[in-house]
Amino acid sequence: MNGLTEWAANDWTKIRTIDAHAAGEPLRVVTDGVEPIPGATILQKRRFAREHLDGLRRTLIFEPRGHADMYGALVTDPVTEDGDLGVLFMHNEGWSTMCGHGIIALVTVALETKMLRRMEVVKLDTPAGRVTAHVKLEGDRVRKVAFENVPSFPYALDQTAEVPDIGRVRYDIAFGGAFYAFVQANDVAVELIPREFRTLIHRGMAVKHAVMKSHPIRHPYEDDLSFLYGTIIIGPPHSTGADSRNVCIFAEGEVDRSPTGTGVSARLALQYARGQLKKNEPFTVESIIGTRFTGTVVGSTKYGQYDAIIPLIEGSASITGKHEFLVALDDPIKEGFILR
């Protein structure tokens, strides 16, 4: 079972959250109403959540409490001696392995609400590995968060796949905490603007499914991370000061309102591998709504058989609300629904 009754024992259950956004992309942080998640590692905790807490995920992410593009986080105890907290991310399809906008928003929430004591460095245990956030504080406010992500690397360059209704499309695959297929906007005949929202979903998912069919994914260390998370469609920036525009279509057709922190990490790995970016050279990426993250290659390493970089991704977040959700076990749609 993975329904509501596994985590909700009473006729009425209360779940408290704090909502925030980073560059426009939402994050719903669960603060009360869920028992501690068992597991000696974050991947074990993620497996437990997938098996036992999927009803909770649907309740918080799906309508009527959420929507098709909602994103959430469960905070866990750290699993490393020097970790400050652990985190599991959730979306409309399931449980993510890492989330860059989520790191920025979660750290902002944790510090501004005193979930964590005041600190300028926050060490997070994520399913993809250790992520270290560097915080710019002004009084009690978090102004910026720059996180040092897990090693990020190109996985496959200059591949092609036959995409229904589009034709043969060139793509790259890269990892930045999750695997993404990168395509050029011109190659899939779409503009990276809000009014193309539904076309972006359709073509991004078509590319994702075509790449999944033609190019199996294997993470160098973890089978749990061996899957294609989404498609990132890239194009020129729409405003001065930015270097590029990214639109990420991930999970089950979600559209990231932010530039996608893990996606920018993977993008940096591609740029660096092709000699288009140097160490310590800022690369600013804007989103479909014009918000920005700035990425920098701050180091290089070997990750399994891959030449990898250490990316630093900077952005900001704001708290948008506090919620006390009520869930009745006799509600026929207690675990929600999605209309796209």
pLDDT along the chain (340 residues), means of 10: 54 91 98 95 97 95 97 97 98 97 98 97 98 97 98 98 96 98 97 97 98 97 97 97 97 97 98 98 98 98 98 98 93 90
Query: Which H or E run contains 203?
Result: helix 197-214
pLDDT at site 4: 52
Tell me the residue type at 295. Answer: G
In whole angstroms, give the CA distance from residue 180 to residue 251: 11
Which two three-digit tokens encode residue 32? 């009360």
pLDDT at site 1: 38
CA neighbours within 13 Å on the CB side: how many for 298?
A: 16
Residue 251 CA: distances (Å) to CA of 88, 180, 242, 268, 276: 15, 11, 26, 22, 29
Which two three-digit tokens encode residue 64? 């009527």
Is the distance from CB of 108 to CB of 132 less than 8 angstroms? Answer: no
All structural domains of the chain = 4-148+319-328 (3.10.310.10), 153-315 (3.10.310.10)
**Which residues have a Cβ under 8 Å from the Cβ of 276 and sit 6 or more positions away?**
none
pLDDT at site 44: 98
pLDDT at site 9: 55
In whole angstroms, give the CA distance from residue 302 to residue 150: 12
3-class DSSP state for residue 9? coil
φ and ψ at residue 261, rounded to 5 degrees: -65, -45
Q: Which residues are catalytic?
A: 99
φ and ψ at residue 218, rounded to 5 degrees: -135, 110
pLDDT at site 7: 55
φ and ψ at residue 71, rounded to 5 degrees: -135, 145
Specify the pairing of strand 12-22 against strand 25-32: antiparallel
**Minimal CA–CA distance to 69: which of 195, 257, 317?**
257
Cis peptide before 259 (omega within 30 of 0): no
The predicted model scores a pTM of: 0.96
Q: CA angle at residue 102 from 98 to 105, to 5 degrees?
A: 155
φ and ψ at residue 192, rounded to 5 degrees: -90, 65
